[in-house]
């Protein structure tokens, strides 16, 4: 049965005003999950109060066996394929009972089923955000209609089964057991969670005694599939969990409200993690096979603490509708980095945020699809696409600027009032501002208008005049921004710092830091006069959100001496400024490549190196004129070879340079001997040849045509695991001669979500150019048909042809633009993705032309 899965804000708003959910009881029969069965039995009892005579329940099922409303049967045609239409609702309390068969997923939505290739064991887990609980049971699928959920799950008796709340009873019948879990506090449907299977578990607990004498103890469990247990590092997981619970208990002033705290690492996950209260799910990539860098561990710390922050921002107080998605995601993003920095040993979190995470925001905020942090979300397809860099990292950066404006004490005092006033309910922007305003003299409504209801990044620049000896004679700071949607000029209040660095015998040395309050188009910095500064950096310490433009003298000094700048955060900011100049076509990509070649070998921080290395690969592969790429890759090859040889044994720098040898080797034969030697185990002292590194090398050697299926099979024989098998897919797809087969597997084979990601990664390495451009345009007509939105979007993005500034490239881009212009009736979400890819391509062409 064809069904429209979309839901609009207008209809959900009306339903939210009409209904109040009392409770759900969800009974799932999963006893056949390890068999060939494709569906499971779902029985739901929903109790709700209504002020009107009709409404609907959301459900996506293979088959609906029966529906009753207040004891009376409901006609079969009331089910549309996505909704159960209820026309005989009474004013007052109603009870609906729905019995259905729902499908197991292999694409990450609803109830996902995975069979481990190593031992044949079956694992289940749920993912419901934003609207996939309806793939598991009948519900009111919108965030403001919260209910108390009781789950009863029938599954093999020897499985581990977990849900949001602790188990309260278990009844065994032979080889199966029905486990019932305690009712949840009021919860949105997208936050329900269930895992079932032979998961490995490790237990601990967190406890606290507060200043007022109250105490609390929370049971902690870390879980993963059995073959990954040796990689789980549960001690570190619990260390982070305890640090976060202690921080939030103090700063949020609302005791952890969800009983237990389970952290489960699951395979084939579509996103990084999900904040299901009491049962937080994480992608398995956060279990490191082999040595992990500080950057990887910092990322894991941030994600653990991000999801934990949601248990207050999002779960305890939930946005009323997806317009206020930022009320949970922006806050959680900020907290993940802030708490990592302040409460754990991972003290490079702000560096990772400033140099890496914020670039996601700057990129998204310059696209034609940009939107305010508080966005108008008309329907669910739009909601799914706004889990983006603006909602997450721009929102987090703006909130960090708010802390700089009003102070962290006022910020957390307002948060405490917010939780106290809206616990277990839903809220809007006005509720949050109303909680924060009593704690500051600043007008937060005006602040919100400037920061949350406008688009596009501010561009921050400095006018610097220097005397002959390099001393500053005058310094002023400027901002400019044109809202991409309204076309109006935007002037925002910025609290920031400006730093000056001078060249000394050992390189760059900090000569001054001055706070700046910028409320208009410009501001003078009189205290900088008379100080020497060969390099002037705006937004030192990364307190505000804005693209920084370096003056020409500072650019030249950075290109020659950047690795000597002593402050990691400021050094990362200068690299970011150089990169934004390149992305925006304001300096030729060759200048960024030259800066990398000159400075990267001396870069002391592996996190900065890893981030900038990704940028230089984009600079060469997309922004440099095609005729100059081979020489650039050869230069990068020489840098990587020499830097790996000189890197300290066992260091993060050594590990990162080894990865870069593998990545650069995909593009040049210069590194083929080096990659072959590393893959054969001829590694420098201190370097671990991890499975991850070996697969990177394998993909590169396949791409260069020196390895084939036999070598891939040999590597797979040593790593015949889930990760090994998906890595083998990437390696095989990296071969240019495999492009036809890869296309067919992606389009006709309907791979799992994990396999799709792996094939697309190999496709990118294979460098298909324009060979499939015509088929790509044809694909746009059908890509949305029969595919879940997440996987369709990946195809539209991952298969977009790379265009160069030549006649063929421009012709391809014109054909894609013509499809966009000629298909205004195509799904809005699809059109948004295509428009974004067109904009990325146009940016690449402008950058290539800037180098001519």
**Location of structure tokens 């030249």:** 556
| The one catalytic residue among 268, 307, 603, 659 | 307
Reduced to 3 states, what is the DSSP secondary structure of residue 93?
A: strand
pLDDT-derived band at 470 (thresholds 50, 70, 90) equals confident
Q: Across residues 111-131, what is the average pLDDT? A: 95
Q: Band of the pLDDT at 1, cuts 50, 70, 90?
A: very low
**Alpha-carbon gap, residue 167 to 148, rounded angstroms:** 15
Per-residue pLDDT reduced to its tens digit, 27-65:
999 999 999 999 999 999 999 999 999 999 999 999 999
Count of CA atoms in the C-beta half-sphere (13 A) of 667: 24
Local confidence band at 243 (pLDDT 50, 70, 90 cut-offs): very high
Q: Does the annotation count 514 as an active-site position?
A: no
Residue 3: the pLDDT is 64
CA angle 411, 414, 418 (to 5 degrees): 135
Q: What angle do CA 162, 165, 171 make, to 5 degrees?
A: 60
SS3 689: coil
For residue 83, what are its two tokens? Answer: 């909704």
Distance of CA 152 to the CA centre of its chain: 32
| pLDDT at residue 469, as a whole number | 87
713: left (phi over 0), alpha (psi -120 to 50) or beta: alpha
How many other C-beta atoms can be found within 10 angstroms of the C-beta atom of residue 718? 10
List C-alpha distances in Å: 798 to 662, 758, 763, 783, 795: 21, 11, 8, 13, 5
**Tokens in use for 401?**
């600027």
CB distance 477 to 528 below 8 Å: no
- Tell me the whole-structure pTM to 2 decimals: 0.96
The reply to whether 457-586 shares the fold of 1-198 is yes
How many other CB atoms are there within 10 angstroms of residue 41's CB atom? 18
Per-residue pLDDT reduced to its tens digit, 642-689: 999 999 999 999 999 999 999 999 999 999 999 999 999 999 999 999
Mean pLDDT of 227-246: 97
Please give the pLDDT value at position 801: 97
- CATH fold, domain 457-586, is Immunoglobulin-like (2.60.40)
Distance CA(599)–CA(697), nearest Å, equals 25
What are the angstrom distances between the C-alpha of 147 and each of 125, 150, 609?
21, 10, 48
- Give the burial class of 72: count Cβ atoms within 10 A of its Cβ; 0-12 exposed, 13-18 middle, 19 or more buried: exposed
Q: What is the spatial distance between Cα 126 and Cα 135, in angstroms, rounded to a whole number?
A: 10
In sign, the C-alpha dihedral spanning 374, 375, 379, 385 is: negative
Q: Tell me if 63 sits within 8 A of 76, measured CB to CB.
A: no
**CB-based burial, 668-706: b 16+ in 10 Å, e otherwise:** bebbbebbbebbeeebbeebebbbbbbbbbbbbbbbbee
pLDDT at position 380, please? 85
* Collapsed DSSP state (helix, strand, coil) of residue 395: helix
- Hey, where are the domains in the chain? 1-198, 199-455, 457-586, 769-852
**For 720-731, what is the mean pLDDT?**
96
What mean pLDDT, rounded, does the chain reach? 96
**Which of 610, 572, 578, 607 is closest to 594 using CA atoms?**
578
| Tokens (6 digits) for 81 | 């394929």
Residue among 331, 139, 192, 354 at smallest CA distance from 248: 331
CATH of domain 1-198: 2.60.40.1730
Residue-wise pLDDT tens digits, 408-442: 999 999 999 999 999 999 999 999 999 999 999 99
The CATH code of domain 199-455 reads 1.10.390.10
Q: Edge-to-edge, what's the strand order for the sheet holding 547-549?
A: 522-524, 472-480, 459-466, 547-549
Residue range 557-583: average pLDDT?
97
Report which of 378, 367, 356 is spatially closest to residue 457, judged by C-alpha positions: 367
The lowest-confidence range among 116-120, 315-319, 349-353, 513-517 is: 116-120
Q: Check: CB of residue 533 under 8 Å from CB of residue 500.
A: yes
CA angle (708 as vertex; 707, 713 as ends), nearest 5 = 110
Q: Is the pLDDT of residue 2 over 50?
A: no
Res 290: pLDDT: 86
Integer-rounded Cα Rg, in Å, for the chain is 27
Across residues 134-139, what is the average pLDDT?
98
Q: Look at residue 851 in the predicted model and tell me its pLDDT.
A: 65
Question: In a 10 Å sphere around its CB, with 0-12 CB exposed, 13-18 middle and 19+ buried, how is residue 569 labelled?
Answer: middle
Assess whether pLDDT exceeds 90 at residue 786.
Answer: no
Tokens representing residue 109 in the block: 């939505």
The enclosing H or E element of 411 equals helix 408-422
Give the 3-state secondary structure of residue 114: strand
> What is the percentage of the chain residues whose pLDDT exceeds 70?
99
Judging by beta carbons within 10 Å of its beta carbon (0-12, 13-18, 19+), is residue 51 exposed, middle or buried?
exposed
Distances (CA, A) of 59 to 79, 85, 129, 453: 8, 10, 15, 34
């Amino acid at each position: 049965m064809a069904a429209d899965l979309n839901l609009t804000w207008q209809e959900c708003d009306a339903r939210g005003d009409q209904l109040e959910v009392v409770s759900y009881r969800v009974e799932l029969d999963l006893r056949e999950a390890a068999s060939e069965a494709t569906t499971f039995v779902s029985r739901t009892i929903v109790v709700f109060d209504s002020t009107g005579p009709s409404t609907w329940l959301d459900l996506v099922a293979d088959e609906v066996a029966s529906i009753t409303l207040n004891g009376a049967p409901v006609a079969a045609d009331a089910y549309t394929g996505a909704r159960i239409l209820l026309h005989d609702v009474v004013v007052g309390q109603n009870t609906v009972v729905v019995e259905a068969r729902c499908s197991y997923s292999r694409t990450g939505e609803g109830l996902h089923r995975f069979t481990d290739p190593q031992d044949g064991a079956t694992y289940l887990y749920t993912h419901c955000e934003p609207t996939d609980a309806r793939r598991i049971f009948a519900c009111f699928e919108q965030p403001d209609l919260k209910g108390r959920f009781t789950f009863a799950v029938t599954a093999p008796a020897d499985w581990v089964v977990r849900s949001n709340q602790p188990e309260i009873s278990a009844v065994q019948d032979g080889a199966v057991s029905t486990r019932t879990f305690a009712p949840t506090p009021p919860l949105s449907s997208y936050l329900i969670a269930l895992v079932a299977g032979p998961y490995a578990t490790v237990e601990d607990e967190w406890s606290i005694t507060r200043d007022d004498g109250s105490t609390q103890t929370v049971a902690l469990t870390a879980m993963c599939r059995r073959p990954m247990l040796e990689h789980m590092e549960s001690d570190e997981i619990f260390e982070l969990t305890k640090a976060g619970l202690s921080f939030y208990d103090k700063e949020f002033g609302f005791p952890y409200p969800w009983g237990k705290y389970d952290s489960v690492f699951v395979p084939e996950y579509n996103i990084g993690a999900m904040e299901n209260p009491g049962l937080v799910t994480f992608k398995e990539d956060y279990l490191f096979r082999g040595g992990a860098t500080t950057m990887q561990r910092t990322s894991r710390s941030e994600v653990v603490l991000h999801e934990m922050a949601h248990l207050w921002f999002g779960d305890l107080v939930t946005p009323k509708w997806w317009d206020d998605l930022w009320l949970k995601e922006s806050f959680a993003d900020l907290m993940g980095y802030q708490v990592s920095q302040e409460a754990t040993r991972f003290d490079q979190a702000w560096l990772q945020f400033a140099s890496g995470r914020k670039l996601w925001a700057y990129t998204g905020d310059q696209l034609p699809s940009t939107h305010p942090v508080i966005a108008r979300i008309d329907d669910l397809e739009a909601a799914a696409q706004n889990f983006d860099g603006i909602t997450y990292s721009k929102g987090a950066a703006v909130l960090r600027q708010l802390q700089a404006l009003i102070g962290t004490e006022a910020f957390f005092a307002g948060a405490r009032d917010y939780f106290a006033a809206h616990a277990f309910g839903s809220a809007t922007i006005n509720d949050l501002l109303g909680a924060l305003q009593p704690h500051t003299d600043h007008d937060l409504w005006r602040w919100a208008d400037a920061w949350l209801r406008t688009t596009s990044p501010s561009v921050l620049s400095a006018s610097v005049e220097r005397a002959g000896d390099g001393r500053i004679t005058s310094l002023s700071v400027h901002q400019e921004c044109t809202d991409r949607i309204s076309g109006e000029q935007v002037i925002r209040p910025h609290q920031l710092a400006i730093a000056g660095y001078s060249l000394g015998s050992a390189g760059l040395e900090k000569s001054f830091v001055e706070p700046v309050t910028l409320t208009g188009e410009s501001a003078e910095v009189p205290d900088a006069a008379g100080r020497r500064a060969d390099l002037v950096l705006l937004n030192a310490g990364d307190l505000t959100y804005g693209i920084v433009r370096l003056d020409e003298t500072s650019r030249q000094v950075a290109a020659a001496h950047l690795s000597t700048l002593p402050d990691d955060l400021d050094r990362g900011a200068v690299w970011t400024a150089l990169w934004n100049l390149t992305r925006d076509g304001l300096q030729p990509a060759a200048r960024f490549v030259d800066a990398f070649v000159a400075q990267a070998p001396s870069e002391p921080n592996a996190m900065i190196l890893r981030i900038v290395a990704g940028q230089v690969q984009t600079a060469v592969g997309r922004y440099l004129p095609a005729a100059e790429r081979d020489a650039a890759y050869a230069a990068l090859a020489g840098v990587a070879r020499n830097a790996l040889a000189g890197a300290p044994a066992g260091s993060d720098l050594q590990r990162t340079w080894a990865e870069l040898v593998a990545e650069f080797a995909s593009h040049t034969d210069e590194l083929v001997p080096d990659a072959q030697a590393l893959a054969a185990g001829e590694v420098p002292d201190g370097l671990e040849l991890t499975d991850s590194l070996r697969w990177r090398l394998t993909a590169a050697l396949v791409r260069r045509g020196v390895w084939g299926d036999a070598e891939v099979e040999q590597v797979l024989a040593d790593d015949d695991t889930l990760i090994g098998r998906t890595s083998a897919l990437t390696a095989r797809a990296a071969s240019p001669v495999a492009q036809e087969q890869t296309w067919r597997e992606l389009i006709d084979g309907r791979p799992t979500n994990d396999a799709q990601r792996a094939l697309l990664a190999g496709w990118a390495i294979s460098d298909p150019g324009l060979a499939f451009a015509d088929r790509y345009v044809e694909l746009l007509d059908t890509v949305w048909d029969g595919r879940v939105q997440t996987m369709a979007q990946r195809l539209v993005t991952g298969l977009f042809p790379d265009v160069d500034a030549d006649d063929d490239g421009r012709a391809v881009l014109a054909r894609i633009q013509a499809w966009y212009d000629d298909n205004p009736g195509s799904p809005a979400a699809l059109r948004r993705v295509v428009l974004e890819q067109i904009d990325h391509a146009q940016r690449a062409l402008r950058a290539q032309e800037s180098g001519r």
